[in-house]
Amino acid sequence: MTGQVLVLGGTGEARRLAEELIAAGVPVLSSLAGRVAEPVLPEGPVRVGGFGGAEGLAAWLVEHRPAAVVDATHPFAAQITENAVRAAAAAGTPLLRLQRPGWTPGPGDTWRLVDSLTEAAQAVAGYRSVFLTTGRQGVAAFAALPGRVLVRSVDPPDEPLPAGATLLLDRGPFSVADELALMREHAVDVVVTKDSGGHLTEAKLTAARELGIPVVLVRRPPLPAGVVTVATVAQAVTWLSGRRSTEPR
């Protein structure tokens, strides 16, 4: 592919994709939403901040004419993904969704799947000590929990915390040993998380299994119909290489 690739990023997959493309001589512009105060930056040029919704992104695509857009944002960044689909269609820009697989339970896991943070809050209302690892957004859904709540996020939430909350600011990856120690220290009896997938934060699931602690897992939002999706960086590179082979010379 000879033209620039716009990578909507903020994930480890996005950073690895940018690195591989740049190493192959493909120009890349990584775009970060700017929701994290100190993001881990990818290699190459970076744009920080929103485009102004689907219409703003479409206008940017028409003006800059990238060869393709790869949406490698977080599996729960549903609005960004929806905007990317609409904008790419309006601008006639090829779009690929790079989304890592979700987690799957193994022997010894006790998982309860729910469709929203509100349902998750209802599911853990009777527990004494909740470990909440759903990120800084949506914490307000748990504000009425009566027991102890350990809230872990990269940046402080803007929303009200539960009355019995302890806020822990930290960024993965986390080890199983550290997660075991943390859960024991806070006498955690249930873990709440989103089905983010990947290896950076899955140690909490292993620790919960070893301690016999149940996990309430929020399902991912569905992807828009018709969007081409791959699960790995290698597959994304292959898709982009295939588009390069069909470009006019």
Overall domain count for the chain: 2
- Tell me the average pLDDT across 201-212: 96
- Note the pLDDT of residue 7: 98
Any domain includes 61: yes
What is the domain extent for residue 207? 111-218
**Are residues 87 and 128 both part of a single domain?**
no
**Are residues 140 and 209 both part of a single domain?**
yes
Any domain includes 19: yes
**Are residues 142 and 211 both part of a single domain?**
yes
Any domain includes 230: yes
Any domain includes 45: yes
Question: What residues have CB less than 8 Å from 183, skipping those under 6 apart?
Answer: 131, 191, 204, 207, 208, 211, 213
Q: What is the DSSP string of 60-89?
A: HHHHH--SEEEE---TT-HHHHHHHHHHHH
- Note the pLDDT of residue 242: 83
Task: Dump pLDDT digits (tens) for 178-204.
Answer: 999 999 999 999 999 999 998 888 999
The model scores a pTM over 0.85? yes
Instruction: Report percent pLDDT > 70 for the chain.
Output: 96
Any domain includes 183: yes
- Note the pLDDT of residue 244: 60
**Are residues 72 and 144 both part of a single domain?**
no
CATH code of 235's domain = 3.40.50.720
Task: Dump pLDDT digits (tens) for 94-119.
Answer: 999 999 999 999 999 999 999 999 99
